[in-house]
A and B are shown apart, each in its own frame.
Chain A
Amino acid sequence: MIFDADGLIKLNRAGILLTVAQAYRCIVPSEVYYEAVTAGLAMHHPDAMDIDAIISSEMEIWPEPLVTSESMFGAGETAALNLFYQMGDRMANIISDDRNFRVHLTGIGCPSIVPSDVIVRMAQLKLITKERALDALDKLRPHIRVSRFIASVDGVEAVNDHSTEA
Chain B
Amino acid sequence: MTTQPKPKKPKTVPVPIRLSEMLLELADLHSTEHRINRTDTLRQWMYQAAERYAVSLVSEGRLSIGKASELLDVTYYDIYHIAEKNGIELGTE
Spell out A's residues near B (CB within 8 Å).
4-6, 9, 30-31, 33-40, 42-43, 45, 47-48, 52, 56, 61, 63, 71-78, 97-103, 114, 142-148
Contact = CB atoms under 8 A, between A and B. Distances in A.
Residue picked from B58, B61, B92, most chain A C-beta under 10 Å: B92
B12 interface: no
Interface in B29-67: 58-67
A5 B3 CA distance: 15
10 contacts: A35-B66, A45-B77, A47-B77, A56-B1, A77-B67, A98-B66, A99-B93, A101-B65, A101-B66, A145-B92
A148 B67 contact: no
A106 to B, nearest CB: 10
Main secondary structure of the interface of A (DSSP, over half): helix
B4 interface: yes
A101 B64 CA distance: 6
Contact of A76 (B58, B66, B77): B66
A45 B66 contact: no
Contact of A61 (B1, B76, B89): B1
A78 B65 CA distance: 12
Contacts, number: 116
B58 A99 contact: yes
A56 B59 CA distance: 31
A34 B4 contact: yes
A43 B3 contact: no
Interface string B14-42: 00000000000000000000000000000
Contacts of A73: 64, 66-67
B23 to A, nearest CB: 32
A33 B5 CA distance: 12
A112 to B, nearest CB: 9
A99 B60 CA distance: 8
A74 B80 contact: no
B90 interface: yes
A99 B61 contact: yes
Contacts of A75: 4, 66, 70
Contact of B91 (A43, A63, A77, A97): A97
Given A73-B64, A100-B63, A148-B92, A35 B69 contact: yes
Q: Which of B69, B70, B76, B84 has the most CB of A within 10 A?
A: B76
A163 B15 CA distance: 62
